[in-house]
Amino acid sequence: MLDINKVLEKLEIKSVNNGVSTGLKSWVGSGDVLSSFSPVNGDLIAAVNQAEKEDYDKVIIKAREAFKIWQNIPAPRRGEIVRQMGEQLRIFKNDLGTLVSYEMGKSLQEGFGEVQEMIDICDFAVGLSRQLYGLSMHSERPRHRMYEQWHPLGVVGIISAFNFPVAVWSWNSMLAWVCGNVCIWKPSEKTPLTAIACQKIIKKVLHENEVPEGVSCILIGDREVGEWLAEDPRIALVSATGSVAMGRSVGEAVAKRLGRSLLELGGNNAIIVTPHADLNIAIPAIVFGAAGTAGQRCTSTRRVIIHKDIYEHVKKRLIRAYSQLRIGNPLDVNNHVGPLIDKLAVEQYLLTVEKVKAAGGKFIVEPKVLSGGDYSSGCYVAPCIAEVENGFKIVQHETFAPVLYLIRYENLDEAIAMQNDVPQGLSSAIFTLNIRESEQFLSCSGSDCGIANVNIGTSGAEIGGAFGGEKETGGGRESGSDAWKAYMRRQTNTVNYGTALPLAQGIKFEME
């Protein structure tokens, strides 16, 4: 079905001894070997040396040197270089998308979609490179001009998660680059190979444009590397995507040195289904949101809050839809759901199932770990559905697996209150054709999430909007709209072109 070696060859990554040599000596570290296994079939696909503290320091020096040059390249020229990166990603879309699917386990369609998301953000960043606008203000003093400019920050550290091994990095890096920053990327230790493949593509473009390769650096390693970035005052901004626990420790370390952080953490996303919903679009949206990516998106649908009058009907339709899900090798386009990332994730899935049962929840689509044959990696699980109460401790918690909760409501106020009554605040949706209901959901007393959709599921956001959420999700915004401002510092400039020195607020300070 797939010759992964051919894909690696095209991405210029060579196979050696069961694993791969990345051929990237200059930025792969000198420490212990980190092995990456595919959850698809359990094969070892990468063996990479992790960064040691010494490697880290070398990388920082290289990045800071590169910043001196990169920040002075005009933004539209930086945009042109990002445009070329987007062109390369178009060329490698199939290969990189396939590698994403193989290393992470998401369906091939979603692997391609992830690379498309990278291409989209490149296009967005190119346009943005000519639109890094500041405002101008009217000064209260005569013959004075006041305006603001946006300048780059310096070195941006990007910590990304396994579930979107390349797209979320690109949201950050493409914007950070057109804004004039240089980037150091710590990819998830579970998906180092896709990160290395990206780095190869980017380096080629940097070389062709004769800009220093320190503009794009990578540090392969575990939690420790993230801690170095968080604690290092030389890192102007740390953008971190991952669990709430990880984000809390990064956020605290960065705040301690009064640095900047941009956090995109867990979600506990709900869809409200009202009696006015068009179920022909609600059902597929729920199933894609909950079972797609094997429930491993931060935007995955975790809870469905259904009106009591249609509850039984929606439940039946969901059971029927789940019976049609095909679970298996994600590289086979006929399958909807691939494996979880690793066996640890399977353990979490099972633990959640136990906790749901212990709390009094009832499974209406049974959980199961699949084994044998195509499932021999031990990472495949069946998407399942349980009837629960919103207040269960386990329901308040984000489990990164395809476990969907059904909850019943009587009136919309109650449904919205339940949707908001979790510690996280990333994505949310309502399915209704009733404008009063949808407007209430979108009003300031409606959904408290960073993303609130009508007749669209919770996952699958486009890059054009700002992406992120509130409460324990961390408050950061990435990708579209004016999220670029997080990667720049604002400078207010007042220029006096007169012959006097009038003071603001009319203060007199006369001297002989």
Among 459, 469, 480, 487, binds ligand UN1 (CB under 6 A): 459
426 binds ligand UN1 (CB under 6 A): no
Distance from the first to the final alpha carbon of the chain: 89
The position carrying tokens 């960073």 is 450
* Structure tokens given for 176: 């950070």
Sign of CA dihedral 339, 342, 344, 345: negative
- In whole angstroms, give the CA distance from residue 287 to residue 301: 8
Q: Could you say whether residue 452 binds ligand UN1 (CB under 6 A)?
A: no
Is residue 164 at the binding interface for ligand UN1, with CB under 6 A as the rule? yes
Pair type for strands 466-467 and 44-49: unpaired
What angle, rounded to 10 degrees, do the helices at 167-178 and 108-128 form?
Answer: 10
The separation between CA 398 and the C-alpha centre of its own chain, rounded to angstroms, equals 16
Q: CB of 160: closest distance to ligand UN1 in angstroms?
A: 9
402 interacts with ligand UN1 by CB under 6 A: no
> What residues contact 404, with CB distance under 8 A and at least 6 apart?
286, 290, 291, 295, 301, 302, 303, 304, 318, 383, 384, 385, 386
* Per-position DSSP letters for 158-192, written without gaps between them: EE--SSSTTHHHHHHHHHHHHTT-EEEEE--TT-H
Nearer of residues 168 and 236 to ligand UN1, judged by Cβ? 168
**In this complex, which beta carbon is closest to ligand UN1, that of residue 55 or of residue 478?**
478
Mark residues 228-247: x for contact with ligand UN1 by CB under 6 A, - for none.
-------------x------
Nearer to ligand UN1, 81 or 461 (CB): 461
* Strand ranges, E, within 142-280: 144-152, 155-159, 182-186, 216-218, 235-241, 260-264, 269-273
**How far is 67 from 211, CA to CA, in rounded Å?**
10
Q: Is 216 in the site for ligand UN1 (CB under 6 A)?
A: no
> Does 408 interact with ligand UN1 (rule: CB under 6 A)?
no
Neighbours of 236 (CB within 10 A): 20
d(CA 69, CA 181): 10
Specify whether 298 is catalytic: yes
Q: How far is the CB of 158 from ligand UN1 (least distance, A)?
A: 13
Q: Catalytic: which of 122, 179, 298, 384?
A: 298
Residue 194 found at the interface with ligand UN1 (CB under 6 A):
no
Residue with smallest beta-carbon separation from ligand UN1: 461
Q: Which of 461, 466, 486, 488 binds ligand UN1 (CB under 6 A)?
A: 461
- Stretch near ligand UN1 under the rule CB under 6 A, chosen from 54-62, 67-75, 142-150, 459-467: 459-467
Residue from the set 86, 247, 295, 460 that interacts with ligand UN1 by CB under 6 A: 460
In whole angstroms, the minimum distance from the beta carbon of 427 to ligand UN1 comes to: 7
| x/- map, 270-299, ligand UN1, by CB under 6 A | ---------------------------xxx
347 an active-site residue?
no
Can residue 173 be called a binding residue for ligand UN1 (CB under 6 A)? no
Nearest to 96 by CA among 174, 199, 19, 21: 199
User: Among residues 188 and 352, whose Cβ is nearest to ligand UN1?
Assistant: 188
The distance of closest approach from Cβ of residue 260 to ligand UN1 in the complex, given in angstroms and rounded to an integer, is 20
Kindly write down the DSSP assignment for every residue of 87-140, as one continuous string.
Answer: HHHHHTHHHHHHHHHHHH---HHHHHHHHHHHHHHHHHHHHHTT-----EE--S
- Cα–Cα distances in angstroms (integers) from residue 125 to residues 77, 78, 83, 241, 377, in the given order: 12, 10, 8, 20, 39
Is residue 22 part of the contact set for ligand UN1 (CB under 6 A)?
no
> Which residue lies nearer to ligand UN1 by CB, 22 or 427?
427
Catalytic residue (choose from 264, 398, 472, 478): 264
Site string (91-120) toward ligand UN1, x via CB under 6 A: --------------------------x---
* Catalytically active residues, by annotation: 264, 298
Instruction: List residues near ligand UN1 by CB under 6 A.
Output: 117, 163-164, 168, 241, 297-299, 459-461
